[in-house]
Amino acid sequence: MTENSLFSNEFLRKMKSAKSVAVLTGAGISAESGVPTFRGEEGLWKKFKPEELATVDAFLSNPKLVWEWYRHRRQILKEVKPNAGHLALRDLEEKFEKFTLITQNIDGLHQRAGSRRVVELHGNIRRNRCQNCGRIYQDVSLEEREKPPTCTCHGLLRPDVVWFGESLPPEAIDQAFYAAAHCDVFLSVGTSAVVYPAAYLPLIALQYLAYVVEFNIEPTAISHQVSEFIQGKTGQVLPQLVKMMGPGTS
């Protein structure tokens, strides 16, 4: 497939004339860094079900099991680094007056790739938070503990991520929904678009007449609704998009 046949002229025209771009990423963009996705063949959820682990009830009924699961994921993250897809989104950010990178991922790889304006919808696995008083603990060495550390208030610490049934950080939600409603182009990148309210974002962008393009290795729940579906691995396709954009800003 030649580079310029991957992207429609319509998409390239929209990108080159866009003043504001919003991007939603999911686990798919970190897959080529070696971070397991959730629902894929080797997905994290294959062995466990989300409700068994990524919920407050699961943590309160079995704190050590849930802490262990995150310790396993934190170990994996120690070995990984941003891939060409993360770096391409960092390069893309420089090309637009307004560019908002909204991620469902908790791995911090966008920040490590150099992206500046990152909205973390589901928190960040490197931080911990007290389940009782909400105090945040930035000390990454706590990851090494075999069981959940305790807070000064004697509450249990848990990863500072959003579990099922928990509401998303209000500021992150506001920024994400604002960006989706005010962008010219919205890219949905490497997400199965099944987790809400994040999965509303591409649909909101469509309602506000943005040009919505999905990047995935296979169709998803929203592929039939978006303006364009581009099949391919983000680590291969996104760098080609940056190249097709040419130098300078739009």
Q: Name the site residues for ligand BV8 (rule: CB under 6 A).
A: 26-28, 31-32, 37-40, 43, 54, 104-106, 122, 161-167, 190-192, 194-197, 216-218, 220, 233-234
Nearer to ligand BV8, 115 or 220 (CB): 220
Task: Return the one option of ligand BV8, Zn ion, none that residue 151 interacts with (CB less than 5 to 8 A, by type).
Answer: Zn ion
Interface segment toward Zn ion; rule CB under 5 A; list 53-61, 75-83, 132-140, 224-232:
132-140
Q: How far is the CB of 24 from ligand BV8 (least distance, A)?
A: 9
Please answer whether residues 98 and 21 qualify as being in contact, where contact means their C-beta atoms are separated by less than 8 angstroms.
yes
Q: Is 136 in the site for Zn ion (CB under 5 A)?
A: no
The residue of the chain with the least Cβ separation from ligand BV8 equals 28
> What is the side-by-side order of every strand in the sheet holding 228-231?
118-120, 98-103, 20-25, 185-189, 211-216, 228-231
Please answer whether residues 241 and 88 qualify as being in contact, where contact means their C-beta atoms are separated by less than 8 angstroms.
yes
How many angstroms separate the CA atoms of 92 and 240, rounded? 11
How many angstroms separate the CA atoms of 208 and 211, rounded? 9
Nearer to ligand BV8, 164 or 208 (CB): 164
CA-CA distances (angstroms) from residue 89 to 37, 117, 178?
Answer: 19, 11, 20
How many angstroms separate the CA atoms of 163 and 55, rounded? 5
Q: How far is the CB of 106 from ligand BV8 (least distance, A)?
A: 5
Q: How far is the CB of 133 from Zn ion (least distance, A)?
A: 3
Q: How far is the CB of 125 from Zn ion (least distance, A)?
A: 19
Binding mask 145-184 for Zn ion (x = CB under 5 A): ------x-x-x-----------------------------
Nearer to ligand BV8, 46 or 243 (CB): 46
Backbone angles phi, psi at 158, to 5 degrees: -140, 160
Nearer to Zn ion, 108 or 148 (CB): 148
- The CA-based angle 144-27-171, given to 5 degrees, is 80
> What are the structure tokens assigned to 106, written together?
């908790």
Chain centroid to CA 177: 15
Residues marked active site are found at: 122
Task: Return the one option of ligand BV8, Zn ion, none that residue 140 interacts with (CB less than 5 to 8 A, by type).
Answer: none
Chain centroid to CA 1: 27
Nearer to ligand BV8, 67 or 211 (CB): 67
Q: How far is the CB of 103 from ligand BV8 (least distance, A)?
A: 8
Scan for tokens 């739009």, then name that residue: 250
> What are the structure tokens assigned to 215, written together?
């990047």
Binding residues for Zn ion, rule: CB under 5 A, are 130, 132-133, 135, 151, 153, 155
